[in-house]
Amino acid sequence: MTTPATLKASFRLLMTLALATGLSACASMPHKAPPSSNPPPVETTTAVSQTPLAERADQLMITGHYQEAAKDYIHAAAAVRGRAQLDYLMKAAQASLKGQKPQVAILLANEVLRLQHDNASLRGAALWVRAQGLMDQGQTPSAKGNLEEILTITGTPQEVRARAMGTLATLYTQEGHELTALNFLIERDGLLSGDAIAENHRRIHALLDQQSVAKLQNWQGRSGNPLVQEWIALALITRQNPDPQQRQTAIRAWLAAHPGHPPINFSDDDTTVAGASALNRAPGGICALLPSGGSYGPLSQAIAAGMETAAQLRSGPAVRVLRSTGNPSYTAVLFERGIREGCKIFVGPWLPQDINAVAAVRKPSDPPVIALGTASDVRQPGLYTLSLSRDVAARQIATQSYAAGYRHAYVLYPQDSSGAAIQADFITAWKHLGGDVSGVTTYLPGRSLTSKVQQLLSVSPGRHSFIFLVTDAKNANSAVTAIRLINPTVPVFSPALLHGAVLPSDAQGLSGIESVDMPWIINPGQSWPQASLLLRTNLPNASDAQWRMAAFGLDAYRMAERVLDQDMTGSLNGATGVLRFAADGRIVRDMEWMEVENGQVVPLSGVPGPGA
């Protein structure tokens, strides 16, 4: 009995497509997939005797030669028929996915879906591979449809169902449908066991943490799922009761008043960290104590991703993420709990009120802290400061331009709170060094700057003068154009011109302007390229701001390692600059100088001297 002609024809077409996309090229080295946040493909087992080709393909899979394995599975499928053929096609699809050939994996999965008849197991496996391939190609709406169909198949294994729900939760979160994502996470809880439950609870806590109280209250009214309502109620109780004992009392009172709700069966640790990430209990951890509310949530996520990437690449201490809720008292509670759970050092807090709260409860014998912001009058042995703000750039320009021989500065900054703060930091540092402020002028963003520059430069700047320009990429062209109309030669130094990580689309008018920024942005291909590749996987949709924060996470982790090793000497060539410990507990960070030339960024070895 032979395979029908129509099946042979379609199968020959499929092989042609697969071979055209590169499967026929045998590689001599393993084609291993890079680290991925996606769950592994669901494997199928063959119900018939293996052919020699299929057995060789199995061995190639074990050794990581995925594309060669896929090719052998396809040839094995061409030599058989029935269920064996479908099994080999399915294995070829899985091998193609692992070999980073998502388009081929999708073609093969489509063929399995076309040929299978009422085989729920095969259909579910093919849908899973197709969903993973679509996600690898950025087609998340189509991937969602496949994952949701998997959940409708009665025979879908419990493990596969749980993976699909977890992936759907990720996709819906990325699209801003957090309540739908929360429903999937809570529904999958009953399908998990052991460490997987703790990890799922961590995801639920993190998702709830990122929402405002008003949003949580709105969700409570919209959800008809009693389990979802109970999770939200406990999150709200956590926000209102940072003290653990008060929180326990409030939770018991709520449960007594709502007997119709099924118990979630939290462990004691879960009830005390509802609204915060569960702690990783691995000893010697580096704990990230970060805000999770409002605009800080995505930035904190990026910092944590950077720290976890550094830990993975350096095989160093594990990272635990403790997410505060915007309540300083609760931040202090998280800090003390982290100590009890074995944190050896803390990266964070970030916000001034949280830094003050931690400093108030921290004892001299407690682990060291690397704060990511500043708080007035907070000085403690073992408390270090790694600032994330642009005031670092302002102070660096002041210090290094004075050292290069400049003595007179003209300051031009926008009329907003950020511009005022940056110019104040510069002037404070500049005057402390002995520099002269020859003029200060403000401007309204979006307006003509010509009259403002004329006012600022009413006296022509001398050879040892420069303009300290505070601007963003949007207003940079008009500012520099106005300056060059009045004085074509005066040096213009601007802090963090690339704060958005890119120049404006028309940057020809910026030629000659100098700035400082992190090597991670100026030289993206040279600053820890392995970390960049891994972070692109962990943060596939990172904004410019998140990409910057990820670099801070990389450097914060390495500085934390130095503190743990009690190595405060020397400097670190980090992603955000050259870092070193100062005597007052500050971690000084010198960024890289750059110049805009013909619309392109050109790295400089340092600040151009007077008359350069």
The pLDDT tens digits of the residues spanning 558-602 come to 999 999 988 888 899 999 999 999 988 889 999 999 888 777 778
Cis peptide before 445 (omega within 30 of 0): no
Determine the 3-state secondary structure of 35 from DSSP: coil
Whether residue 13 lies inside any domain: the answer is yes
The C-alpha R_g of the chain, in whole angstroms, comes to 29
Residue ending a domain, choose from 368, 384, 400: 384
Q: Which pLDDT belongs to residue 345?
A: 96
Chain segment 518-537, per-residue pLDDT in tens: 888 888 767 788 888 888 87
**How much is the average pLDDT of 131-148?**
79
Residue ending a domain, choose from 240, 272, 304: 272
Cα distance between residue 434 and residue 119, in whole Å: 81
Does the pLDDT value for residue 441 go beyond 90?
yes
Neighbours of 16 (CB within 10 A): 10
Whether residue 348 lies inside any domain: the answer is yes
Neighbours of 491 (CB within 10 A): 20
8 Å CB contact between 468 and 397: yes
Does the pLDDT value for residue 23 go beyond 50?
no
Chain segment 251-304, per-residue pLDDT in tens: 888 877 876 666 565 443 443 333 333 333 334 489 999 998 778 889 999 999
- The three-point CA angle 167-169-175 to 5° equals 110
Contacts of 361 (CB under 8 A, 6+ apart): 332, 335, 336
Neighbours of 512 (CB within 10 A): 17
* Letter string b/e over residues 289-311, b meaning 16 or more CB atoms within 10 A of that residue's CB: bbbbbeebbbbbbbbbbbbbbbb
Whether residue 509 lies inside any domain: the answer is no
* Letter string b/e over residues 159-198, b meaning 16 or more CB atoms within 10 A of that residue's CB: ebbbbbbbbbbbbbbeeeebbebbbbbbbbbebbeeeebb
Q: Cα-Cα-Cα-Cα dihedral of 194, 200, 204, 209, to 10°?
A: 90
**How much is the average pLDDT of 142-163?**
83
What percent of the chain stands above pLDDT 70?
84
Q: Which pLDDT belongs to residue 502?
A: 56
Whether residue 257 lies inside any domain: the answer is yes
- Least Cα distance to 291 among 279, 277, 309, 280 occurs for 277
> Do both 217 and 201 map to the same domain?
yes
| pLDDT class of 34 with cuts at 50, 70, 90 | very low
Question: Which CATH number belongs to the domain containing residue 310 in this structure?
Answer: 3.40.50.2300
Give strand pairing partners of 597: 600
DSSP state, residue 22: I
* Letter string b/e over residues 583-610, b meaning 16 or more CB atoms within 10 A of that residue's CB: eebebbbbbbbbbbeeeebeebeebbeb
8 Å CB contact between 580 and 562: no
Report the amino acid identity of residue 279.
L
Q: Which pLDDT belongs to residue 492?
A: 92
Q: Which pLDDT belongs to residue 77?
A: 86
Angle between helices 52-62 and 82-98 (to 10 degrees): 20
Does the pLDDT value for residue 37 go beyond 50?
no
Q: Which two tokens stand for residue 139?
A: 């087609």
Residue with tokens 């801003």: 176
* Letter string b/e over residues 73-98, b meaning 16 or more CB atoms within 10 A of that residue's CB: bbbbbbebbeebbbbbbbbbbbbbbb
> Do both 26 and 137 map to the same domain?
yes
> Do both 380 and 401 map to the same domain?
no
Which H or E element spans position 120?
helix 120-136
8 Å CB contact between 311 and 557: yes
Whether residue 117 lies inside any domain: the answer is yes
> Do both 252 and 315 map to the same domain?
no
Cα distance between residue 312 and residue 304, in whole Å: 12
**How much is the average pLDDT of 393-397?**
91
Q: Which pLDDT belongs to residue 46?
A: 39
Q: Which pLDDT belongs to residue 276?
A: 33
* Letter string b/e over residues 320-330, b meaning 16 or more CB atoms within 10 A of that residue's CB: bbbbbbbbbbb
Distances (CA, A) of 239 to 93, 234, 250, 516: 47, 9, 11, 40
> Do both 71 and 102 map to the same domain?
yes
Give strand pairing partners of 411: 440, 468
Cα distance between residue 461 and residue 411, in whole Å: 12
Q: Which two tokens stand for residue 310?
A: 């550094």
- Least Cα distance to 344 among 323, 316, 325 occurs for 316
Q: Cα-Cα-Cα-Cα dihedral of 513, 514, 516, 521, to 10°?
A: 60
Q: Cα-Cα-Cα-Cα dihedral of 100, 101, 106, 107, to 10°?
A: -160
Q: Which two tokens stand for residue 369?
A: 């802290």
CA contacts within 13 A on the Cβ side of 170:
18
Range of the domain at 338: 286-384
> Do both 38 and 143 map to the same domain?
yes
> Do both 365 and 453 map to the same domain?
no
DSSP state, residue 500: T
> Do both 15 and 157 map to the same domain?
yes
Chain segment 115-130, per-residue pLDDT in tens: 887 777 888 888 888 8
pLDDT mean across residues, the chain: 80
> Do both 303 and 266 map to the same domain?
no
> Do both 378 and 313 map to the same domain?
yes
Whether residue 531 lies inside any domain: the answer is no
Instruction: Please state the domain count of the chain.
Output: 4
Chain segment 420-434, per-residue pLDDT in tens: 888 999 999 999 999
Q: Which pLDDT belongs to residue 281?
A: 34
> Do both 265 and 292 map to the same domain?
no
Determine the 3-state secondary structure of 560 from DSSP: helix
Give the predicted TM-score (pTM) of the model.
Answer: 0.55
Report the amino acid identity of residue 390.
R
Does the pLDDT value for residue 29 go beyond 50?
no
Neighbours of 335 (CB within 10 A): 26
Whether residue 227 lies inside any domain: the answer is yes
Q: Which two tokens stand for residue 414?
A: 């926008």
Residue ending a domain, choose from 384, 404, 425: 384
Does the pLDDT value for residue 6 go beyond 90?
no
Q: Which pLDDT belongs to residue 82?
A: 83
DSSP state, residue 366: S
Chain segment 331-368, per-residue pLDDT in tens: 888 898 889 888 999 998 998 889 988 998 999 899 99
Q: Which residue has the higher pLDDT, 470 or 41?
A: 470
- Least Cα distance to 386 among 169, 87, 588, 604 occurs for 588
Q: Which two tokens stand for residue 360?
A: 């108030």
- Which ranges of 153-267 would DSSP assign to H, the alpha helix? 158-174, 178-188, 195-209, 213-222, 226-240, 244-257
Q: Which pLDDT belongs to residue 25?
A: 39
> Do both 24 and 150 map to the same domain?
yes
Length of the chain: 612
Whether residue 541 lies inside any domain: the answer is no
